[in-house]
Structure 1
Amino acid sequence: LLDLEGVAVRSGHHCAHPLMQFYGVPATCRASFAFYNTFAEADALVAAVHKARSLLA
């Protein structure tokens, strides 16, 4: 869903499977930022997450 909004994220264990298993977390979704990202891109991420959440809730 986020990809359809032009937002790239990673999902899974992110090299932390033992820790996530300890806390009972099956998977996470991670967005990464760099110095060249803009406020508009951050706003687009937030809007896309809100949209995906409303569709999946």
Structure 2
Amino acid sequence: MFCFDDIESSDLSTLLSEQNIALRVGEHCAQPYLARLGERTTLRLSFAPYNTPEDVAQFFAVLDKALELLQ
């Protein structure tokens, strides 16, 4: 799970989704943990055996661009 200061997880999720990056946004059954961190929602990215190193690199490239747009 991850999140960024001053960026809504849902906004980031939307931008990533537009670039075919699938992830989950929400509490992920961890409400007490998130409350302790002072967060409402986080993003969760899951990898599978069929994901390649190129998929991971693509995720970080798209994430960097999305963060630039939202900051």
Deviation at 1:18, TM superposition (A): 1.1
The yes-or-no answer on 1:29 pairing with 2:43 is: yes
Q: Which residue of 1 aligns with 2:19?
A: 5
**Alignment gaps of 5+ in structure 1:** none
1:19 and 2:33 aligned: yes
Superposed CA deviations along residues 3-51 of structure 1, whole A, max 9, x for unmatched, are: 1111011111111011111221121111100111001111111011101
Question: What is the root-mean-square deviation in Å for CA atoms of aligned residues?
Answer: 0.9
1:10 and 1:55 map into 2 onto residues whose CA distance is 20
Structure 2 stretches lacking a partner, 5+ long: 1-14
Of the three residues 57, 64, 69, the one matched with 1:43 is 57
Runs (4+) off by over 2 Å: none
Aligned residue identity for 2:34: M
Q: Which has the larger radius of gyration?
A: 1
Tell me, in whole angstroms, the C-alpha distance in 2 between the residues paired with 1:10 and 1:29. Answer: 6
Instruction: Give the structure-2-normalised TM-score.
Output: 0.74
Q: How many pairs align? A: 57
Identity percentage of aligned residues? 40
TM-score (norm 1): 0.90
